[in-house]
Amino acid sequence: MTLKTLLPGTTGATGQQLTLGVMGGGQLGRMFVHAAQAMGYFTAVLDPDPASPAGRVAHWHIQTGYEDEQGLAQLMQRCDAITTEFENVPAPALITLGAHRPVAPGAHAVAVAQDRIQEKAHFVASLPTSGIGPAPYAAIESEALLAAVPADLLPGILKTARLGYDGKGQIRVKDRAELAAAWDQLKRVPCVLEKMLPLKAECSVIVARGANGQAVSYPVQRNTHVDGILAVTEVYEGALPAALCDKARAATIAIAHQLQYVGVLCVEYFVIDDGSADGALVVNEMAPRPHNSGHYTQNACDVSQFEQQVRAMAGLPLREVRQHSPAIMLNILGDLWFPEGADKTARSPAWDRVLALPGTHLHLYGKLDARPGRKMGHLNITGTTVAEVKATATQAAAMLGLPALP
């Protein structure tokens, strides 16, 4: 359906206060709900978890599965437009919703992001003359395709085509024997084998695109992952070469335009050591939603990624982004509640000490139980200079028992 301008504080098509809905009740949904409510919208969340972070703060929590017909009907009855907070929402559910209410991003864009094989084909189609593309790869969906894998793709990383995230569903392989064993380990589901490349850095770009084709880009985020999970994001002048950043932002906007995307989109890249001073960009994957690496925008920019998400789905003008402070984001996992090991009693980290540091901004997600590996929140650190922000982030990491900053 066509997106219309949905002015906050007005009566919607449902005859009640104009309401924005979100499929998914995790932390991204929670921050979307906060942003929408700050702008005057009512909110509704569909998520089966009675204690979902977003469901606990929304005006309405529809507690059903994502394909439950009654739940989807309730969401449509409540909402004037609907978005999603994670890419594994079943695309058929978005098709059902999209037949009756504006949905942004649409089912097609989400379906492409759900399948690495489709996703890589989309990257190739979006960036034909940019010099940027995915790592050399082969799709493996049958014994014949497994046998036909070119030798120069090894060593590589075998990834499930669907449902992999935060390093899950991925196995490094050195030779054909390990590749065959890894495919067996992954239950022979459709997979992609990607060639291992010499990595210099990882980065990501967040763009927001409206239904009218307007697109705005955030600065390039330099990311550090630990065990496949984002640990640190750094965003300031000099974090990556300027020319590389310009190419990444242009490529991300091209990817969004090719999809006719509406909403907030994050695209992740590898910076590869190709012998040049800056390195070369390789596009890795995309997330059709706000992204962990964009959380710094809440405190370092004059418009957050979540407000842009609201603006895009409500048909409001998107804001050109101004980053007013250098920033570092530290991801907070449940491990911090167990400083002596997972078998001990959980205890809250020393937030009072951390928050005494200049420029610290704590965002906890309202999850009731801390568990090792579970995303519990993030800490944004801002300041007037890069040196100041780095010094504070180093202190905060040491206080929390996090690994030293890269």
Q: Is 311 annotated as contributing to ligand binding? A: no
Q: In this structure, what token pair is assigned to residue 245? A: 């950043």
Q: Is 363 annotated as contributing to ligand binding? A: no
Q: Is 292 annotated as contributing to ligand binding? A: no
Region of 268 on the Ramachandran plot (φ > 0 left; ψ -120 to 50 alpha; else beta): beta
Q: Is 170 annotated as contributing to ligand binding? A: yes
**Max Cα distance, the chain (Å):** 62
Q: Is 166 annotated as contributing to ligand binding? A: yes
By CB neighbour count within 10 A (0-12 exposed, 13-18 middle, 19+ buried), where does 68 fall? middle
Query: Residues near 161 by Cβ (< 8 Å), separated by ≥ 6?
Result: 115, 116, 117, 139, 141, 189, 190, 191, 192
Q: Is 156 annotated as contributing to ligand binding? A: no
Q: Is 284 annotated as contributing to ligand binding? A: yes
Contact call for residues 159 and 169 (beta carbons, < 8 A): yes
Contact call for residues 190 and 141 (beta carbons, < 8 A): yes
Contact call for residues 380 and 327 (beta carbons, < 8 A): yes
Q: Is 223 annotated as contributing to ligand binding? A: no
Q: How many angstroms separate the CA atoms of 47 and 71, rounded?
A: 9
Q: Is 237 annotated as contributing to ligand binding? A: no
- DSSP reduced 3-state for 179: helix
Q: How many angstroms separate the CA atoms of 97 and 72, rounded?
A: 7
Q: Is 307 annotated as contributing to ligand binding? A: no
Residue 104: what are its φ and ψ, rounded to 5°?
-140, 120
Q: Is 143 annotated as contributing to ligand binding? A: no
Beta-bridged to residue 265, according to DSSP, are: 207
- Output the known binding site for ATP: 116, 159, 164-170, 194-197, 202, 225, 284-285
- Output the known binding site: 116, 159, 164-170, 194-197, 202, 225, 284-285
